[in-house]
Amino acid sequence: MSQLVDPFGRKVEYLRLSVTDKCDFRCFYCIPKGFKDFTESESRLTLDEFVRVVRIFSTMGVDKVRITGGEPLVRPDIIEMVSGFSSLPAIKDLSMSTNASQLAGCAHELKMAGISRINVSLDSLRPDRFREITQGNLERVIEGLLAAREADIHPIKINMVVMRDRNLDEVGDIVDFCIEHGFTLRFIETMPVGAAGQRARDSYVSLDEVREKLAQRFEFEPCRMRGAGPAKYLRVKGERLKIGFITPMSQHFCDSCNRVRLSCEGTLYLCLGQQDKLELRPLLRQGMSDEEISQAIVAAIQRKPQKHEFNTSPDQVVRVMSMTGG
Ligand code: SAM
Ligand code: SF4
21 lines ligand 2 (CB under 6 A): no
188 lines ligand 1 (CB under 6 A): yes
Length of the chain, please? 326
Identity of the amino acid at 154 = H
Per-residue model confidence (pLDDT) at position 208: 95
Angle CA(273)–CA(297)–CA(62) in degrees, nearest 5? 80
Residue 113 CA to residue 94 CA, distance in Å, equals: 10
Residue 62 CA to residue 13 CA, distance in Å, equals: 4
What's the mean pLDDT in 127-144?
98
User: Mapping DSSP to helix (H, G, I), strand (E, B) and coil, where does residue 186 land?
Assistant: strand
Q: Per-residue pLDDT for 1 more than 60?
A: no
What DSSP designation does 294 have? H
Biggest alpha carbon–alpha carbon distance for the chain: 60
Q: Per-residue pLDDT for 35 more than 70?
A: yes
Band of pLDDT at residue 245, cut at 50, 70 and 90: very high
135 lines ligand 2 (CB under 6 A): no
- Does 276 or 266 have the greater pLDDT score? 266
Residue 238 burial by Cβ neighbours in a 10 Å radius (0-12, 13-18, 19+): exposed
99 lines ligand 2 (CB under 6 A): yes
Q: Per-residue pLDDT for 137 more than 80?
A: yes
> Which ligand sits nearest to residue 190's alpha carbon?
1
Q: Which residues contact 286 (CB under 8 A, 6 or more apart)?
A: none
264 lines ligand 2 (CB under 6 A): no
pTM, rounded to two decimals:
0.95
Which tens digits make up the pLDDT trace of 165-192?
999 999 999 999 999 999 999 999 999 8
Residue 103 alpha carbon to ligand 1 centre in Å: 17
What's the mean pLDDT in 150-166?
96
Residue 238 alpha carbon to ligand 1 centre in Å: 30
Q: Quick one: which of 71, 72, 76, 149 has its CA closest to 107?
A: 149
**What are the backbone dihedrals phi and psi of residue 59, each rounded to the nearest 5 degrees, phi first?**
-80, -5
Band of pLDDT at residue 253, cut at 50, 70 and 90: confident
Per-residue model confidence (pLDDT) at position 148: 98
Class of domain 14-154+252-323: alpha beta
Element (H, E) at 120: strand 117-121
Q: Which residues contact 142 (CB under 8 A, 6 or more apart)?
A: none
Q: Per-residue pLDDT for 303 more than 70?
A: yes
Band of pLDDT at residue 227, cut at 50, 70 and 90: low
Residue 255 CA to residue 146 CA, distance in Å, equals: 36
Q: Mutate which of 18, 28, 31 to test ligand 2's pocket (most atoms within 8 Å of Cβ)?
A: 31
Which tens digits make up the pLDDT trace of 98-107?
999 999 999 9
71 lines ligand 2 (CB under 6 A): yes
